[in-house]
Every structure is written in C-alpha cells, then in structure tokens.
Amino acid sequence: MVRQIFLRLPEMSRGVHLITSYIESQAGPLPNEGLINIFLQHTSAGLTLNENADPTVRTDFEYVMNKIVPESRTEYKHDMEGLDDMPAHVKSSLVGQSLTIPIANGRMAMGMWQGIYFCEFRNYGGPRNLVVTIYS
C-alpha cells in the first residue's frame, strides 16, 4: 500500500533547519514496517540526515558548504536570480533532494542522533514543497 502527502514548508531563512518533528506530525500514523520517502521539489535547497542534538552542527554545516561552494565567483555564468543562485544549485546537487528512511515499529528507524534537515541555500528561497510517500 502507498500513501502520499504533499506538504508546503513555510519560507525559512538561509541555513540548515531540523524538520523531523514537522514530518512526523504531518505524515500521520506510519505502518508497522515499510519505507518513507521525502522528496523536495526544488533545485536550490536540499534534504539531509545529520546529527540532531547539537545546534552548532547546523552552523558548521552552513560554514562548510559556503567554503566548498563560495558565492560571488566571476566564473559563474548563471546568476539570473542573484549571487547565491548558482552556488545554491551546486549545493543542492551535492546534498540531494530526497531521503528514504526505513519504518520499523510504526516509527522512522533513524539512529538516536539522526534528524531530518531542510537546507535552504538561497537568501530568499520562499516556501518549499515536499512530497512524502509512505510505503507499507
């Protein structure tokens, strides 16, 4: 059986945002076992699993991504929407736009220190759309 939910994240500031509890609250009851896939319908943001206990992980993640893919490079040709435009697309490709997580005992079977993060790579990305598909 497959169930699908379409969600709209509110506009979030640039950075890395923990959205695990939001996904859990919106997904409704999960099957005893199965898979959940979370897909982000955008090319300048991303989804990742990472350490969910210490908020400095989010700050450091943003710092590292900006070091790997800096803004304001004259080599970038695609800058129609600003200096953060092309770097946001590259960061999105590096991080990815989907996560598939096993479901066990009616819960997402993540490790103790894992959380779902939404990564906003644009200065003003606007609301973002997610497709959550639950397989049982």
Mean pLDDT by 10 residues, the chain (136 residues): 97 97 97 98 97 94 96 84 91 98 98 97 96 98
Q: What is the pTM of this model?
A: 0.95
With 0-12 / 13-18 / 19 or more C-beta atoms within 10 angstroms meaning exposed / middle / buried, residue 77 is: exposed
Domains, the chain: 2-135 (2.60.120.460)
User: How much is the pLDDT for 16?
Assistant: 97
Q: Report pLDDT for 82.
A: 84
User: What's the pLDDT score for residue 75?
Assistant: 87
Residue 105 Cα distances to 17, 18, 31, 136, angstroms:
26, 23, 8, 12
The torsion angle over the Cα atoms of residues 44, 47, 53 and 54, rounded to 10 degrees, is -20
